[in-house]
Structure 1
Amino acid sequence: MIIKEGAVAGFGVLCVHAHPDDEAIWTGGTLARYADEGARTAVVTCTWAEGTVRAGELERSLGVLGAGEPRLLGYADANKPESAPGAPRFLDVPFDEAVGRVVGHIRRFRPDVVLTYDAYGSYGHPDHVHAHRVTMAAVEAAGYDQLHPGTGEPWRPRALYLSTVPRSVVVSHWRSVFGTDPEPGQTLPGVPDDQVTTRLDVGRWAERKWEAMHAHASEVGRGASMTLLTGLPEQARAQMLANEWYRRVGHTGPPETALGA
């Protein structure tokens, strides 16, 4: 079953992100689109704790996107101990502990599809890379009754999507920002264009996505992704806001324009 013109009632979309604001930057259009089409949508955020400024911003962003209440693991950001006072860094907790926490959310929410970052963490941030690894393991583990007992009944999502950007888009925007091509051999975000399996047209929800991004007021002008987007020429920024790209794990069929199940 492919959800083409509108989500089937009850279809579940669960995103796993590293930080508050990533839900809006990388999957904001997807969340808004599917919420409007009748799907259940939710976001697990691996870092920052309840009561912090950015947790409050996350709550406002999720409200704009129709994605429910924050689901915070409460670990500390790699470089910001104030993100979760007294808690360990997400990078430092035992891997199986973090996997089990995400397994619990998968089993309780019972999504049809799970979305997280590609293996490079979209742009190489260590928390993003770790969230990718944890989510990959959790999606697999959630279906086994032998693993992580006490976190709910086993549940196996039908598909796992990795948020990414086509390399051609990265290079084009690089030229827009810096006026030149990347240096030969330079490490770039994204994947070769032929590895992108799914492009979602979220143009109708671009304004909502932009509003959700700006709910993270503490990051506007500070966060790397926010700074890049606000610094892009208007036409390039409009393209980024109106499209979200994914690589569906294990997909071998034709390119998708909707999340599959």
Structure 2
Amino acid sequence: MLVHAHPDDETTGTGATMARYASEGVPVCLVTCTRGERGEVVADDLAQLRDAGPDALGKYRESELAAAMTELGVKRYVWLGGAGRWWDSGMVGTPENEHQRAFYRAELTEPVRALVEVLRREQPTVVVTYDPHGGYGHPDHIQAHRVTMAAITPAADPEYAPELGEPWRVPKVYWSVVPRSAVLKMAEEVGAEFAEQMPGATDDKITARLDGEEYLPAKLAALRAYRSQVNLDDGFFARFVKGAQFRYEHFQLVHGARGPAGPGEQGWEDDLFAGLA
């Protein structure tokens, strides 16, 4: 199970991982916390969405996510609390971040309860979400991290909301991370000025790296499904996906036992299920 903040986040950061396990027959479930109602519309032929209001964009992005999941081979995806329960919060300091429906402003009680229900229903062996910084500091990424980490323990507690289903203990929890070295390399390759906003993870914190080269076609096809948000022909994303680091997806194990190392010299796992029976 992967917990992401907005449509397209799952593909950008973990798309190859999702495609790999889906192709291997592993049940993959995506939980998306908002519909990305505040996203910037980049496609000119969708310009009407720029002034149509957040709910209209959110509904459009629902269809984009469905198309992306088809490309990745993922059949199970849910909206935390139901589609549109919480809205994209925008960036810190913007009016959107102060909106009463902003996900970042939600008290943890309700979204945690909603996620506990999903955890008990889906019974995932591995859960993936963001690190405490949310990767690059987006408020919704940070909130998704908070909600996920706050839901793991009560999901296993038989005294917590028994009406939500049988308790479920998640064996392994990972944070999706980007190595600091890769951040600096990407900054060189794509000319982006995000090295300060994305601190990245040092190599000693990383515990798993999945080489997604085989699944890059599916990952790129899924990204192309997000036409309102992503332009793979020009601009940042077009340069980003051509970078040498785009094929790799890195993770930090924060709950559960580390499995055997993969073949790489770093001693990182090459399978998120490593060590599990």
Alignment TM-score, normalising by the size of structure 2 = 0.77
Distance 1:144 1:181, change over 3 A: closer
Shift of 1:181: 11
Secondary structure of 1:195's match?
coil
Taking the TM superposition and a 5 Å limit, the aligned residue runs for 1:171-210 are: 171-178=184-191, 186-210=196-220
Distance 1:252 1:107, change over 3 A: closer
Root-mean-square deviation (Å):
2.8
1:37 aligns with 2:24: yes
Structure 1 unaligned residues grouped into runs of 5+: 1-13
Shift of 1:178: 2.9
Instruction: Kindly tell me the number of residue pairs found equivalent between the two proteins.
Output: 236
Match of 2:11 in 1: 24
- Cα distance in 1 for partners of 2:241, 2:23 equals 29
Secondary structure of 2:67's match?
helix
Contact in 2 for aligned 1:198/1:247 (Cα 8 Å) = yes
**Equivalent in 240, 245, 248 of residue 239 of structure 1:** 245
Percent identity, aligned pairs only? 39
Distance 1:227 1:135, change over 3 A: farther
- Cα distance in 2 for partners of 1:156, 1:69 equals 20
1:55 aligns with 2:62: yes
**Equivalent in 92, 97, 103 of residue 110 of structure 2:** 97
Taking the TM superposition and a 5 Å limit, the aligned residue runs for 1:101-250 are: 101-178=114-191, 186-221=196-231, 228-232=236-240, 234=242, 236=243, 238-240=244-246, 242-250=247-255
Secondary structure of 1:52's match?
helix
Alignment TM-score, normalising by the size of structure 1 = 0.82
Amino acid at match of 1:111: P
Amino acid at match of 2:239: G
- Cα distance in 2 for partners of 1:93, 1:188 equals 24
- Cα distance in 1 for partners of 2:29, 2:258 equals 27
Amino acid at match of 1:29: A
Distance 1:47 1:233, change over 3 A: closer
Match of 2:73 in 1: 66
Shift of 1:119: 1.2
Question: After superposition, what is the alpha-carbon deviation per residue over 1:90-142, rounded to whole angstroms, capped at 9, x for unaligned?
Answer: 12222111111111111111110001111111111000011001101112221
- Cα distance in 1 for partners of 2:78, 2:62 equals 10
Contact in 1 for aligned 2:135/2:198 (Cα 8 Å) = no
Structure 2 unaligned residues grouped into runs of 5+: 36-54, 260-266
